[in-house]
Amino acid sequence: MGFALATAAKEAGWSVDLVAGPVSLPEPAGVMVYPVVTAAEMQRQSDALFGPCDVLIMTAAVSDWRPKVTEPQKLKKDGQGLTVELEPVPDIVSSLAEERRTDQFLVGFAAETENVEVNALDKLERKGLDLIAANSVAGSEGAFGSDHNKLVVLGRNGFREVLGPASKAVVARQLIDVIARLVAARAS
């Protein structure tokens, strides 16, 4: 979905920086791609790019936990079980929201398995976003690894719009359109 949005934003005339984890998708034409592997790298790169940016769209399904210790060598098995201690991964979009300017527009994604809109609105508030695109990942509707998607886009002051179901390319163009409208309305 991130790649589809980068393509749609570029087609709409935006200047686009794409911070992307490892995926097997062709790079969108005319977009600056910043490859990252870990959440910490994604945070550092996003921090570095955030200052001059007008719109931040965070589609990344960042892991909630990471191992506390990284072993330099392969662990030998010894016939015993293994307990791995995990620590929480810092929330990238929330930390950017804390340092945002009021003219910057922040969009998050929420993949939910139940109470999609209630949970997404809670996330919108908690993370300090302007807009959240929620999709259900329950059952066969799942967006992960699929070419299709359906989003419920929720904003402040009761804003609600349903995009799709359609291909991710079409949904992405619609979402870029919604963002452009809301940004223009806020500026006027």
Nearer to ligand C5P, 78 or 114 (CB): 114
Both tokens assigned to 74? 């392969």
Q: Is 56 in the site for ligand C5P (CB under 6 A)?
A: no
Whether 19 and 36 have beta carbons less than 8 Å apart is answered as yes
**The one among 6, 97, 110, 163 contacting ligand C5P by CB under 6 A:** 110
CA distance 133 to 129: 11
The one among 18, 53, 58, 121 contacting ligand C5P by CB under 6 A = 58
Size of the site for ligand C5P (CB under 6 A): 13
Phi, psi (rounded to 5 degrees) for 133: -105, 115
Residue closer to ligand C5P, measured from CB, 51 or 81: 51
The yes or no reply on residue 20 touching ligand C5P (CB under 6 A) is no
Rounded Cα distance between 91 and 63, Å, is 10
**Under rule CB under 6 A, residue 89 binds ligand C5P:** yes
Separation in Å, CA 73 to CA 64, 69, 70, 76, 115 = 24, 12, 9, 9, 43
Are 153 and 162 in contact by the 8 Å Cβ rule? The answer is yes
- Other CB atoms within 10 A of residue 171 CB: 25
CB-nearer residue toward ligand C5P: 6 or 110: 110
Question: Distance between CA 64 and CA 51 in Å, rounded?
Answer: 25
Interface positions, 112-141, toward ligand C5P (CB under 6 A): 123, 127
The window from 56-64, 143-151, 161-169, 173-181 that contacts ligand C5P (CB under 6 A) reads: 56-64
**Contact window for ligand C5P (CB under 6 A) among 29-37, 79-87, 88-96, 175-183:** 88-96
Residues in contact with ligand C5P by CB under 6 A are: 39, 58, 60, 62, 89, 91-93, 108-110, 123, 127
